[in-house]
Structures are given as C-alpha cells and as structure tokens.
Amino acid sequence: MRQIHIFAALIAVSFVLIVGLVIRYTGATDVTTTAEILNEAPAVDTLRFSATEYGPDDFSLSGILPTINSDTIVHVTGIVSDANGGQDIATTSVHFYRAGVQSSCVLDKNNCYEVLHCDITDTANTTEQAYDCPFSLAFFTDATDNAGRYPQDTWRADVTTTDIAGSAATSSATVEVNSLLALNLPDAINYGIRSLGEQSTLANNVTTLVAQRGNNRADVEIFGNAMGCDVLGSIPAGSQYWSTTNTAYGAASNQQLLSTPVRAGLNIPYRDNDTEELARALYWNIAIPSTGVKGNCSGANTISIISLGSSVFSSEDVMAYAGAWTDSVFMIAQGTLWATGSNSNGELGLGDQVFRSTFTQIGTDTNWKQVSAGESSTIALKTDGTARGNCSER
C-alpha cells in the first residue's frame, strides 16, 4: 500500500513538471533583433544655372550676360539625394570656373569662383534636399561666347555633395559667359570760363576718363559739332582738339575734332585685376576765337564705343596705338599680331620698336625690317642682318 502512495506521488510531481514546461514554452517574451545598414554615398541629381534662389534654368541656352559695372548674382541650384535619408547629407559645395584654367584654379574674379557651403532646404521626399549656391559674377569675368576673350572655352560648375560619413559625389554642367561691351564715358566736357583768343594749356586742358565696364576689349570713336553761344557767334568744331596724351593746344599729337568719326586709339584691354579699375584718359583742348563770340557756348561731342573683338589685332590697331609707322611689317603667329616699324610721331621717344597685339613693347632699337613669331618667342631682324630674339610672349 505504501508503494502505491509513493508511485502516485511521483506521477503527481511529473504532471506538475510537465505543466510547468508547457507553460514556460507557450508564454510571450521579448527577443532582441539586430542588423547593420551600410552607408550609401549621396548623389547630385540635378544641376541648374538660375537667376533666382532655387529657381529654374535661366542660362543654359542663352548664357550668362554680366551686368555693366556691377556683379551679377548667379545661382547654381538643384537636388541632391542620399538613400540613407536626406538628413545624412552634411555639405554641398560648388566650384565654378572657366574650363581652361581647370578645377585647381586659384580664386579669381576673371575665371574662378567657389561656394563652400551652399544653402540647403528639405523637400517632400525624405531622401532629397534642394541646394542653392549663389555667387557674385564680376562684370569683367572672362567671356566664352563667339565674340569673347576665350571663344573656344566654356564655364564649368562642379557640384560636390558629402554625407556625414565622408562619402562624396560630384556632378558637372557647363554654361557660357557672354560678352559685355561697356565703357564708362564722360557726361560732359566743361572748358570753363575762357577769354577771347585764349588757347588751353597743360594747366587748364580738360581730362576725361574712359573706364572699362565690361569684359570686351574696346575703343571709342569721336566726332562733334560747333558750340553755339547764347549771346553772339559760335565756336567751330575744329577749334576743339583731343588727344590720348596730356598735351596743350597746338601739340603735334592733338587730333582736331571733326564732324565724322575718328578712332581714338585708347584700345582699352580686358580687365585682369580684381581690385584696380582699368581706365584710359582723353585730354581736350580748345582755342577761343579772338572776336565774334560771347556768352554761354554749348554743343555736342559724340563718343561712341567700338569693339576690338577677341584675340587678334589688325594692323589698324597697332597704327592707332603707336602712331605713324613707316616701313611697317605686320604678321600674325599663334593668334598674336606682331609689328615692326619706325614710329615717327616722337611721342614714345624710343626709336624703332617691336610691338605685339597686347601692346607690350618687347624691343627698342633702330632699322627693323622683319619679324617672325613662334609659339613662345619672337625674332626681329634688322637691316644690317643682326637680330633680337627670344622675346617671350608669355
């Protein structure tokens, strides 16, 4: 009987253990799960050139036209994305440069700009961000259109976006910067109070500045008419003279004011300095008739701008710059015009010279008869057979 009770007790204990196991393995519990998501590099999805913040493409077809004597705000804008989420994007930047100077260029308003931290705003898509990179394009920035300084070149924008992990992506697009022909011309030529028969001198001639306000080489043409006086008579147009050198009335270099246009020969080049203004002076002289005039006299002189184009000068350009050349020899080599000849007007006082189309004097001597130019050097031959060489253009 005792054994029966022990057996029954064992059966009961076994039942309890079995029930406990069932309860243990059929109840709820929290199980930890883990996974690592790899970082994906971001991407530059779109790139536009716009006149407004986050704006549409305004310049890809027409090119960017600089503003006279002022900066033009250009926005490089578009969409960047990151599959890990738009908030994973750390920075977006743009490098904008003329392709010919390459992306390693030093910042320069002629050809190299950058924005290191572009503006960013979220979009409706959680993996995207809109970016906007504004910069100020100078009025003298290198032009790359057909009439520009670098017609075979273009401008390039490299947009780079970087995520928090340091992964980066870059996308590029090109655009042209257009030519801007613009000079700052004088508003008035005021000879002031003069006496009958007076001729202006170095002390009281009139100086007017003509300043570069665009990105194109330029000159001016000058013509005018008589000055009518409100009391009596008039001052003939031919009583006014102008010059590109500071002289008094009657100097040989003065040019008489005519009623038909005459090119001045200021030959204002491209501006290559970010901080210094580029300007040339015109000097004005007048001779007042000895009789027959009185009162306030006024007329109109016209100064009109003409383009000198891009890289190659003509013989007319050299003539306008250097004065009256005799026995001149002109040639074009490597896109540059070279000239030799005798400057007979005496202004430069350096005898016979060799000039190139940048108007840089590379030799002073006498009796030149021939010039030859290669890619980086020039040889000028004299009538006695001697030569001056290795005059580097660069």
pLDDT, tens digit, 9 for 90 and up, residues 178-205? 999 999 999 899 999 999 999 999 999 9
10 Å CB burial of residue 31 (0-12, 13-18, 19+) is exposed
What is residue 139's DSSP assignment?
A: T
Question: For position 342, what pLDDT does the model report?
Answer: 45
Question: For position 14, what pLDDT does the model report?
Answer: 59
Query: Measured between alpha carbons, how far is 193 from 188 in angstroms, rounded to an integer?
Result: 15
**Contact present, 68 and 218 (Cβ < 8 Å):** no
Q: Is the dihedral of CA 252, 254, 257, 258 positive or negative?
A: positive
Question: For position 308, what pLDDT does the model report?
Answer: 82
| Region of poorest pLDDT, from 14-23, 39-48, 155-164 | 14-23
User: Domain segments of the chain: what residues?
Assistant: 43-175, 183-307, 315-388
Question: For position 49, what pLDDT does the model report?
Answer: 98
Asked if 43-175 and 183-307 have one fold, the answer is: yes
The better pLDDT of the pair 348, 287 is held by 287
What is residue 324's DSSP assignment?
A: S
What six digits make up the tokens of 181? 């022909």
Question: For position 394, what pLDDT does the model report?
Answer: 28
Q: Mapping DSSP to helix (H, G, I), strand (E, B) and coil, where does residue 315 land?
A: helix
Residue-wise DSSP of 173-208:
EEE-B-----EE--S-----S--TT-B--TTT-EEE
The residue to which tokens 């029930």 are assigned: 19
Is the pLDDT score of 7 beyond 80? no
Is the pLDDT score of 375 beyond 70? no
Backbone angles phi, psi at 48, to 5 degrees: -130, 155
Question: For position 253, what pLDDT does the model report?
Answer: 87
pLDDT band, residue 271 (cuts 50/70/90): very high
Query: Measured between alpha carbons, how far is 10 from 159 in angstroms, rounded to an integer?
Result: 81
Question: For position 1, what pLDDT does the model report?
Answer: 58
Question: For position 288, what pLDDT does the model report?
Answer: 97
Is the pLDDT score of 146 beyond 70? yes
The better pLDDT of the pair 215, 369 is held by 215
Q: Comparing C-alpha atoms, which of 267, 137, 262, 138 is closest to residue 210?
A: 267
Arithmetic mean of pLDDT over the chain: 81
Question: For position 29, what pLDDT does the model report?
Answer: 85
Question: For position 331, what pLDDT does the model report?
Answer: 45
**Contact present, 115 and 97 (Cβ < 8 Å):** no
| Region of poorest pLDDT, from 65-69, 174-178, 198-202, 347-351 | 347-351
What six digits make up the tokens of 95? 């490098």
What six digits make up the tokens of 157? 């924008």
Question: For position 156, what pLDDT does the model report?
Answer: 98
Is the pLDDT score of 77 beyond 60? yes
Query: Measured between alpha carbons, how far is 261 from 280 in angstroms, rounded to an integer?
Result: 19
Question: For position 120, what pLDDT does the model report?
Answer: 93
Question: For position 66, what pLDDT does the model report?
Answer: 97
Question: For position 78, what pLDDT does the model report?
Answer: 97
The residue to which tokens 């003065």 are assigned: 254
What six digits make up the tokens of 235? 């001052």
| Region of poorest pLDDT, from 104-113, 248-257, 350-359 | 350-359
Is the pLDDT score of 370 beyond 50? no
Question: For position 18, what pLDDT does the model report?
Answer: 53
Is the pLDDT score of 386 beyond 70? no
What six digits make up the tokens of 356? 């190139």
Give percent above pLDDT 90 in the chain.
Answer: 63
The better pLDDT of the pair 277, 9 is held by 277
Query: Measured between alpha carbons, how far is 237 from 261 in angstroms, rounded to an integer?
Result: 13
Query: Measured between alpha carbons, how far is 94 from 107 in angstroms, rounded to an integer?
Result: 13
What is residue 100's DSSP assignment?
A: G
Query: Measured between alpha carbons, how far is 132 from 51 in angstroms, rounded to an integer?
Result: 11
Question: For position 123, what pLDDT does the model report?
Answer: 87
Query: Measured between alpha carbons, how far is 252 from 285 in angstroms, rounded to an integer?
Result: 12
CATH topology assigned to domain 183-307: Immunoglobulin-like (2.60.40)
| Distance of alpha carbon 319 from the chain centroid | 28
Q: Is the dihedral of CA 113, 119, 123, 125 positive or negative?
A: positive
Question: For position 122, what pLDDT does the model report?
Answer: 87
Q: What are the contacts of 333-336 at 24+ separation with CB within 8 A?
A: 333/372, 333/373, 333/374, 334/373, 334/374, 334/375, 334/393, 335/311, 336/311, 336/312, 336/373, 336/393
10 Å CB burial of residue 187 (0-12, 13-18, 19+) is exposed
Q: Comparing C-alpha atoms, which of 280, 283, 224 is closest to residue 253?
A: 283
Right CATH number for 43-175 from 3.30.420, 3.40.50, 2.60.40, 3.90.1490?
2.60.40
Is the pLDDT score of 166 beyond 60? yes
Backbone angles phi, psi at 5, to 5 degrees: -65, -40
Give percent above pLDDT 70 in the chain.
Answer: 71
Q: How would you classify the pairing of strands 279-286 and 206-212?
A: antiparallel
